[in-house]
Amino acid sequence: MIHDIGYRGYQGRRLGRGYATRALFVQGLRAAFGLGRSAKSKVLPMLMLAAMVLPATMVVGIAIATKATHLATDYPRYLSGVGLIFAEIFTAAQAPVLLSRDLRFATVPLYFSRPITRADYVRARSGAMVCALLIVTVLPLLLLYVGALLAGMDPVPNTEHFGFGLLAALLYSLVFSAIGLVIAAATPRRGFGVAAIMGVLAVSAIVAEIVSGLNGGLHADPTDSAKWAFLLSPASLVSRLVNQLCGLGGDGGTPGGLGAVVFAIELLVIVVGAQLLLMRRYRKI
């Protein structure tokens, strides 16, 4: 005998693929800051956010107290100096949260059983990581900018250089998220992902500095060959390209106009190439 136990089909409105993709993006962005998870999961991302903001608060406080006419640091240089290491740690720690955990607990096939496609999944996770990094990098710049205006500093140069800082924040976010997510997608072990991402970002910077130094980068007037060495470091790639494009130059730019084009092409290759590699990775799942 067949018994009717009361199961009924879903009769409500189906929200579809777009809604599912947006929900995955929002969930990823929340997860990047530990929201909706245990208190322990919130500690590191919140510490990194605080570490980015605290020096900016001190810069603004000193400027207001001394009635300075300009900030002690420029907006892009704040990111390439104070903020760079914290942005790298945030990337290394949180990129595996978005991808490695899904692989480890085999939840990816469950996502693909819904209307979303593999491309939707990659876009949602990539967008969440980029937005999380933008929050981390833009917040201290916004604090510096508002503080400069409240201190009565000239709004014209501050607005212009704040724009330069936003450009740097966007490029750092795109490059770091691209590298972090590709590495995180290669392993279901979060610890391996964290170590690999931090290793790539830190070791590449050290290698670039060594190669630059061996080619005359330690001189007061570095040679062009010394500047080409920074193609080896994603972080230096961004900072030097921004310096060149925004006229912040000195010895911290690219090797001329051709260098700016090559640096920009490499940045584009990293970002687009990462998306293609992620798509290829998830076609196999």
Task: Yes or no: say if 176 and 94 are a contact pair by the CB < 8 Å rule.
Answer: no
Domain for residue 10, yes or no? no
**Coil, helix or strand for 51?**
helix
Rg (CA), the chain: 22
Residue at 6 is within a domain: no
User: Which pLDDT does position 2 carry in this prediction?
Assistant: 58
Question: For 6-20, 56-70, 242-256, which range has the lowest pLDDT when averaged over its residues?
Answer: 6-20
Domain that includes residue 58, residue range: 16-283
Confirm whether 182 is domain-assigned: yes
* Average pLDDT value for residue range 16-22: 87
pLDDT for the residue 178: 96
Structural contact between residues 209 and 120, judged by C-beta atoms closer than 8 angstroms: no
DSSP one-letter code for 79: I
Does some domain include residue 7? no
283 Cβ contact list (under 8 Å, min separation 6) = 118
For every residue of 194-230, DSSP letters joined together read HHHHHHHHHHHHHHHHHHHHHTTTTSSS--HHHHHGG
Q: 101-157, pLDDT tens digit by residue?
A: 888 888 888 888 778 889 999 999 999 999 999 999 999 999 999 999 998 899 999
Residue 202 located in a structural domain: yes
The answer to whether residue 206 sits within a structural domain is yes
Please say if the pLDDT value at position 256 is more than 70: yes
pLDDT in tens, 258-274: 989 999 999 999 999 99
Task: Name the band, by pLDDT with cuts 50, 70 and 90, for residue 171.
Answer: very high
Please return the burial class of 152, using the count of CB atoms within 10 Å of its CB with bins 0-12, 13-18 and 19+: exposed
| Domain-located, residue 45 | yes
Angle (CA) 153 154 155, round 5°: 105
Q: How many domains does the chain have?
A: 1
Evaluate whether residue 100 is within a structural domain: yes
Alpha carbons 58 and 79: distance in angstroms, whole number = 15
pLDDT of 248 reads 82
Cβ atoms within 10 Å, residue 98: 25
Q: How confident is the model at residue 36 (pLDDT cuts 50, 70, 90)?
A: confident
